[in-house]
Amino acid sequence: MATDTSTTRKIGDVQVSAIGLGGMPMSIEGRPDESRSIATIHAALDAGITLIDTADAYHLDSSDIGHNETLIAKALSSYGGDTSGVLVATKGGHLRPGDGAWTLDGSPKHLKQAAEDSLKRLGVDAIGLYQFHRPDPKTPYEESVGAIRDLLDAGKIQQAGISNANPDQIRQANEILGGRLVSVQNQFSPAFRSSEPELELCDELGIAFLPWSPLGGISKASDLGSKHPAFHQLASELDVSPQKLTLAWMLAKSPVVIPIPGSSRPETIRDSYSAVDLTLTADQVATLDAS
């Protein structure tokens, strides 16, 4: 795969920062107070981040639906600088009834209503990037993606993506969307590499690949170095955090990769974004790939 160390990348025809901000930790269990979350989003914008990823399911229970979307809209409206170049990507198809479970509804009726509700919470005329959150076994995949296509054709969303998809689903979604699939958001990290085939397919097709939980998840990100010796050793040699090294490694794998680390502290998102300035050699990337 080609190596790219630039600070910006493309999702469809939109240029965004090479690293985005994942909003989930600011809205689910253990979330910080609103002021710290808004400070985190503002710090991301100050650093140069222009991609913020959210979902209507990032909340605590059914009384709190869309908490993260509302939070992001508030943070953007209260930011002192220009936010016209910020792409807010949201998702539909997951639900959280309030017992900690994640349930699914990929029916066209639900997805279309969910998109309308997200539009209102985000306060926009069209959602910049709308993603089908996760395949629903109760609904044929072509029907779910067909609903996303209808939203795109109606101008409710500007770009369409999918999440948690396998290679066959990526090809199928791109066909249903008439070649307009712009992104795939899958789990990918040093501990979770089974989505390498999806990353490689996105590289081949020129579709943005957005790793979620790139640092291993909310509860495990701080243990990244101790769990992965090769990353710890090289991070020590380069005098950077294992987290920063991990994101730089992902950026070096393909120019279509745009990691979206979740964060709820200004200092962690600043460290994450600084990975755009860390250039790794081909040998260093190969060592991490093999670890």
- Whether 288 and 50 have beta carbons less than 8 Å apart is answered as no
Angle at alpha carbon of residue 253, lines to 249 and 257, rounded to 5°: 95
Residue 219: what pLDDT?
67
Instruction: Give me the residue label for tokens 């974004």.
Output: 273
Residue 260: what pLDDT?
98
Question: Other C-beta atoms within 10 Å of 13: how many?
Answer: 8
> 176's torsion region: left (phi>0), alpha (psi -120 to 50) or beta?
alpha
Query: Per-residue pLDDT for the chain (291 aa), expressed as one digit of tens each?
Result: 333 447 999 999 999 999 999 999 999 999 999 999 999 999 999 999 999 999 999 999 889 999 999 999 999 999 999 999 999 999 999 999 888 889 999 999 999 999 999 999 999 999 999 999 999 999 999 999 999 999 999 999 999 999 999 999 999 999 999 999 999 999 999 999 999 999 999 999 999 999 999 998 876 767 787 899 999 999 999 999 999 999 999 999 999 999 999 999 999 999 999 999 999 999 999 999 999
Whether the model clears a pTM of 0.85, i.e. scores above it, the answer is yes
Please tell me which residue in 58, 130, 141, 273 is annotated as part of the active site.
Answer: 58
| DSSP line for 81-121 | S--TTPEEEEEESEE--SSS--EE---HHHHHHHHHHHHHH
| DSSP line for 21-40 | EE-GGGTSTT---HHHHHHH
Domains (range + CATH), the chain: 8-290 (3.20.20.100)
- Whether 236 and 242 have beta carbons less than 8 Å apart is answered as no
Residue 136: what pLDDT?
98
**Tally of helices (H runs) and strands (E runs) in the chain:** 11, 11
Instruction: Provide the CB-side half-sphere exposure for 191 (13 A, CA).
Output: 15
Q: Residue 181: beta bridge partners?
A: 160
Helix (H, G, I), strand (E, B) or coil at 131: strand
How far is it, in rounded angstroms, from Cα 153 to Cα 147?
A: 10
What is the DSSP code (8-state) at residue 77?
A: H
> 101's torsion region: left (phi>0), alpha (psi -120 to 50) or beta?
beta
Residue 181: what pLDDT?
98
- Catalytic-residue membership of 79: no
Residue 1: what pLDDT?
34
